[in-house]
Structure 1
Amino acid sequence: MSSKTSASIGLAQLLNSEKYSDLKLVCQGQEFKVHKAIVCTQSPVLAAASNGSFQEAATNTINIDEFDAGTVKRMVVFMYGEDYDEDTRERGLDSVFEPKNEEVGIVNQDNEGSSLLTSTPFNLLLPMTTEILLRHIKVNAIADYYDIPQLKRLANTKIQNFLETNWSANNFSAVVEEAFNSTSDTALHKIITSTAAAHIEELVQHEDFTTVTVMSDFALGILRNMIATYKVKEELSAQKLQAAESRLQSIEVSYTYEKSLRDSESSRMDRVIENINDCLETLNKTQTCRNARCEAEFTCYIEHGGTANEPKYTLRCARCREGSGLLDISPPLYARDLGSVFSLDSILKEAGGGLSMNREHRVMSLTLEIYGWLS
């Protein structure tokens, strides 16, 4: 058991025993005997009332008329235990809240008649979730009134957690009314307004919310206009998103079609080049015409040069390769056709029906230089 827990239990026992109490808090006929050393060190307001020149200092009695007895109970429980429960039944402190025999003259119930809502039977119709929220808000209010910041923060934490886990638009108007009419704590107001903003579309559908007295017609009109504008923007965003998705699908279809065309063109180009290479290989191996009746000789060959990426093919005279070279060639005849050059593009245009050689993965040029005797 931690020292902090032990101290809390010790203070709770001190409160239960009422020993050494030197101050009474009286609310709706119910007395709470407390210790100045405990409560006045946590509340400068109570300290000023019990130590000043007021009647409270002389009688050591402080009357609390601004809050109900249940809320005062929770404040006292916190001062002695650093926590409180909405029904005040924790840490064995039930006896502290029992009425002081018949001279007090009240029953053992939380008489919260001074509340904004409990002055009429309407509170009997509220669901328990709303009642719990209202009790936490009243704790915030008494903490704000008596300047107990730790209690105020604790109440706000409980309210925030409760709204996040037990949200209901039903009777939320009662929560708004209580929060804005009973306390000036801006932190609590922010919690309430943030929650309302998060559920505003649901809330404006409830008639009781639109009749909240702290909400003017002007503010309500702004809220409704904002909701309408938000819905229009949301619809436009949805339309734009749908159009963008449709455009993307169209682009994907176009890309797939164009890629198919490029792949088909590339395959056709590969076949044409393969056919040309086969022809060149056949030409180099052939020395005579395949027509047996033809006596002509094939007196040329294709010389392969260049690089792997840019091969170069040169048409040369087979007789010159076997003889002494170009020095034996008759100058007039040689000069007539020397330097004739044919690129692979021109051959492909004839063979492939206008194929283009502008390809990313392959560029090949075929240069045919005519050497020899041409008639």
Structure 2
Amino acid sequence: MIEESRNAYSAGDYCDLVITCRGDVYNVHKVIVCPRAEFFAKAVKFGGKEAHDNVIDLPADDPHAVKLLIQYLYEADYNPPVSAPALKDDVNVNSQAPEHSCPHRHCARIVCRHHLCGLTCVSNCRGFRCSKCPKPSPTNVSGPPEQLLTHSKMYELGDRYGVAGLKKLAQEKFKIACQHFWDDPAFPSAADHAFTTTVDQDKGLRDVVRKTIYDHIALVKKPEVQAFLAEAGLGIGILVDKMEELGWP
């Protein structure tokens, strides 16, 4: 189905809808884009001028992001691609009884099916890898660190135009990019965009940003990250969580 959609867009035959954005023009098919984007479906069905002229203009959006939106609607993906499944969390909590426990006393937290650990443990459980557990598949990330902002913009478009699959994909790509580019100057601006373009209840990207800073607490030394934390109101919460993890009173 994806290959057929891609071929239909490439051929340009039987297009019956035009999407424009600041001079960019996309001739698309209603039968493809409308079922996949709630906004376009409503514009065609209930819109006034849009329904009559079969032209939908998106003047407020980033032209590059709209280009990637069209790509997603036809291919179920957008550039840059990710070649392998996302990395799993370092700590894999498993409810199965462990085969042996952490060597430190007073530990009660299961970090994998082979080990226990807890907040009172003198060693840091985060980042722990069990030699007996399968290692996660490596993720090959192509493209520059600036893709962090691209993924945040795609998440925004997915939410604005009712493309649930795009939101989920953008969140996953954003998460993977954060794992690779957390120390790059592109991270704070992407984090700020993620927070300023989503409502408080939408945790998709917000939780990724919070976890990235939590896992790489040295980021708080950077002035641009400090400014972001102050504006987003995250600093105290992350600090308290980190203190609790380390067992500080």
Please give the range of the TM-score, normalised by the shorter of the 2 chains.
0.5 to 0.7
> Which of the numbers 4, 7, 14 marks the counterpart of 2:8?
14
> Which of the numbers 191, 194, 208 marks the counterpart of 2:208?
191
- Larger RCO, structures 1/2 (Cα 8 Å, 6+ apart): 2
Map 1:84-163 onto structure 2 (within 5 A): 84-86=78-80, 129-163=144-178
Map 1:278-293 onto structure 2 (within 5 A): none
> Which of the numbers 54, 59, 62 marks the counterpart of 2:56?
62
Q: 1:169 to 1:17 in 2, by over 3 A?
A: closer
Structure 2: gaps spanning 5 or more residues: 82-142
Matched, 1:215 2:231: yes
Post-superposition shift, 1:215? 2.5
Provide the rounded CA distance (Å) in 2 between the counterparts of 1:213 and 1:56: 41
Map 1:1-375 onto structure 2 (within 5 A): 7-86=1-80, 129-168=144-183, 170-184=185-199, 185-199=202-216, 201-212=217-228, 215=231, 219-221=234-236, 223=238, 229=243, 233=247
Provide the rounded CA distance (Å) in 2 between the counterparts of 1:40 and 1:231: 47
Paired residues in the alignment total: 186
Scaled by the length of structure 2, what TM-score is found? 0.66
Provide the rounded CA distance (Å) in 1 between the counterparts of 2:38 and 2:177: 29
Scaled by the length of structure 1, what TM-score is found? 0.45
Give the letter for the 1:9 counterpart. Answer: E
Which consecutive aligned stretches of 4+ in structure 1 deviate over 6 angstroms post-superposition? none
Q: 1:154 to 1:222 in 2, by over 3 A?
A: closer
Provide the rounded CA distance (Å) in 1 between the counterparts of 2:203 and 2:237: 22
What SS does structure 2 have at the residue aligned with 1:194? helix
Provide the rounded CA distance (Å) in 1 between the counterparts of 2:14 and 2:193: 37
> Whose helix proportion is higher, 1 or 2?
1
Structure (1 or 2) with the larger CA radius of gyration: 1
Percent identical among aligned pairs is 25
CA RMSD of aligned residues (A): 2.6
What SS does structure 2 have at the residue aligned with 1:32? strand
Structure 1: gaps spanning 5 or more residues: 1-6, 88-127, 237-375
